[in-house]
């Protein structure tokens, strides 16, 4: 087998989505499938870790079979297996890790632990419009809000992060306050479309202070207090929250581009599917002469394609996880990764 025909199987199971992808050196992404557990967790208003793990157990192997069938490939065609080892829910991560390690062991092929946020960060490389290095990455998900200086694959420096709630978490909590159910981010964004932007003005947290850290928990409190006073203006509150959150993110991205001197911005993670955020960032990019890159909508949220790609880029450079243990890293800083 030449490195030009290398096929990587990627497995994502860090939270409430089981994702599997197959990435080929020359053909790129050849198949991917996702099972979202949204309906399982909806009645509890948030992710229930034990239910997440149990469902990953049910889904992972059928999804692997399904992507192989989609690509007209068999187990014997896989040359390496990448799995999300962290950060994420321990029980959920263990499922992907156990399947990946056992399958790799039985097929006598290498396996590799992938960092979930590196998966998000590299997801725009699955698109036709790909960023070149270096760039600034804004990673916005349910668990993380980070600005990262990306010099090359594996050379990451965190420029700023959230001191309290991640932005996706703030969307979810604000949605819950407004009675929009779970998952809240997309529901809040939808309601905001009917809101009047002039009705309320929420603060832009921490923009008047130097630095690139974020704080979003105050916005959620602001939404709660406003809702208590004006219970009939749900859509206006959703709009005010979304505008304040997205403008805050835009201001910090502009600052990070100025600070690093980079002219490319990559935006990834669940919240990068938010259309108001994209509009705000595209406008800033045009004004400052920077290019902004996103994954396609379905690869903004968790998926197996990004893990297959991130793993592929490392496995084909000879990186493997040498331990045969079923190892996971529920807490893992992106700065600890090795360059390739």
Query: Is residue 80 close enough to count as binding ligand KG4 by CB under 6 A?
Result: no
Query: Are 284 and 264 within 8 A, CB to CB?
Result: no
**Six token digits for residue 257:** 């581009």
Residue 308 to residue 81: CA distance in whole angstroms:
8
Q: Which run of H or of E encompasses 52? A: helix 49-70
Q: Site residues for ligand KG4, window 281-310 (CB under 6 A)? A: 301-302
Binding mask 159-198 for ligand KG4 (x = CB under 6 A): ---------xx-xx----------xxxx--x---------
In the bound complex, what is the minimum distance in angstroms from residue 6's beta carbon to ligand KG4?
A: 27
The separation between the first and the last C-alpha atoms of the chain, rounded to the nearest angstrom, is 21
> Which listed option, ligand KG4, Zn ion, none, makes contact with residue 273 (CB within 5 to 8 Å by class)?
ligand KG4
Phi/psi region, residue 80 (left: phi>0; alpha: psi -120 to 50; beta: rest), is beta
In the bound complex, what is the minimum distance in angstroms from residue 107's beta carbon to Zn ion?
A: 27
E strands of 111-245, at which residues? 111-115, 135-140, 145-152, 155-161
In the bound complex, what is the minimum distance in angstroms from residue 121's beta carbon to ligand KG4?
A: 11
Residue 119 to residue 295: CA distance in whole angstroms:
11
Q: Which is nearer to ligand KG4, 213 or 302 (CB)?
A: 302
Q: Which is nearer to Zn ion, 56 or 254 (CB)?
A: 56
Q: Which is nearer to ligand KG4, 174 or 226 (CB)?
A: 174
Residue 241 to residue 220: CA distance in whole angstroms:
8
- Residues touching Zn ion, count (CB under 5 A): 2
Nearest one of 254, 171, 249 to 204, comparing CA atoms: 249
Query: Are 201 and 240 within 8 A, CB to CB?
Result: yes
Query: Is residue 142 close enough to count as binding ligand KG4 by CB under 6 A?
Result: yes
In the bound complex, what is the minimum distance in angstroms from residue 255's beta carbon to Zn ion?
A: 24
- Interacting residue ranges for Zn ion, rule: CB under 5 A: 141, 302
Residues of the shown chain interacting with ligand KG4 in the complex, contacts defined by CB under 6 A: 15, 141-143, 168-169, 171-172, 183-186, 189, 269-271, 273-274, 301-302
């Amino acid at each position: 087998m030449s490195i030009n025909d290398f096929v990587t199987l990627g497995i994502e199971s860090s939270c409430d989505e089981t994702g599997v992808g197959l990435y080929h050196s020359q053909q790129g992404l050849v198949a991917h499938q996702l099972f979202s557990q949204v309906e399982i967790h909806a009645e509890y208003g948030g992710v229930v870790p034990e239910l997440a793990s149990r469902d990953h157990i049910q889904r992972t192997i059928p999804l692997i079979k399904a992507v192989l069938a989609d690509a007209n490939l068999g187990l014997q065609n896989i040359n390496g297996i990448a799995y999300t080892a962290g950060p994420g829910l321990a029980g959920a991560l263990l499922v992907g890790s156990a399947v990946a390690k056992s399958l790799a062991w039985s097929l006598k092929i290498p396996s590799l632990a992938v960092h979930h946020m590196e998966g998000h960060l590299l997801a725009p490389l699955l698109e036709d419009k790909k960023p070149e290095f270096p760039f600034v990455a804004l990673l916005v998900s349910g668990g993380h809000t980070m600005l990262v200086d990306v010099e090359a694959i594996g050379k990451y420096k965190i420029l700023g992060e959230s001191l309290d709630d991640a932005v996706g978490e703030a969307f979810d909590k604000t949605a819950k306050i407004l009675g929009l159910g779970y998952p809240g981010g997309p529901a809040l964004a939808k309601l905001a479309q009917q809101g009047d932007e002039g009705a309320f003005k929420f603060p832009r947290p921490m923009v008047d202070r130097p630095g690139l850290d974020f704080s979003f928990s105050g916005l959620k409190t602001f939404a709660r207090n406003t809702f208590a006073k004006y219970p009939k203006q749900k859509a206006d509150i959703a709009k005010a929250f979304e505008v304040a959150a997205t403008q805050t993110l835009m201001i910090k991205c502009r600052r990070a581009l100025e600070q690093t001197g980079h002219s490319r911005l990559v935006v990834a993670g669940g919240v990068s599917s938010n259309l108001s955020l994209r509009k705000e960032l595209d406008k800033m990019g045009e004004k400052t002469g920077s290019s902004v890159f996103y994954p396609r909508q379905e690869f903004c949220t968790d998926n197996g394609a990004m893990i297959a790609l991130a793993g592929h880029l490392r496995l084909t450079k000879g990186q493997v996880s040498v331990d045969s243990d079923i190892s996971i890293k529920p807490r893992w800083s992106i700065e600890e990764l090795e360059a390739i």
